[in-house]
A = this chain, B = another copy of it.
Amino acid sequence: MSDSFQRDLLRGSLDLMVLSVLADEPQYGYSIQKQIRDVSQGRVDLKAGTLYPLLHRLESDKLIRSKWDDSTGRRRKWYELTKAGHNRLRSQAREWHSYVECIGQLLTPILPKLPKPA
């Protein structure tokens, strides 16, 4: 997940990925990074310089809210979805599916010519 094609793919869907990871329970930055890496089998490995500014942006947009936890040696900033964040997640998920279908329409004639992926 390091070439420019996939970097640009991220650009459109990274907000959606992070919001979906936060859908069920609060998480902190590092755990979000790990979960996305695990779910994607290592194909999506967010850099810290990508993730933290993103979280700050989502928070300033009031889609997530944060709370520091200093109870352990490791300071962690926990994030959870706001009401607006849940709404955004739903709408972006719908748009994502709509868009994927769009591209699918264009690729359908190409597909039969594609050799089976390993």
Contact = CB atoms under 8 A, between A and B. Distances in A.
A114 B20 CA distance: 12
A15 interface: yes
Copies assembled: 2
Is chain A's binding surface mostly helix, strand, loop or mixed? helix
Contact of A117 (B11, B40, B94, B114): B94
Interface string A84-97: 00000110111111
Given A5-B15, A9-B12, A107 B114 contact: no
Interface in A10-49: 10-13, 15-17, 20-21, 23-24, 36, 39-40, 43-44
Interface of A: 5-6, 8-13, 15-17, 20-21, 23-24, 36, 39-40, 43-44, 89-90, 92-100, 102-103, 105-107, 109-111, 113-115, 117
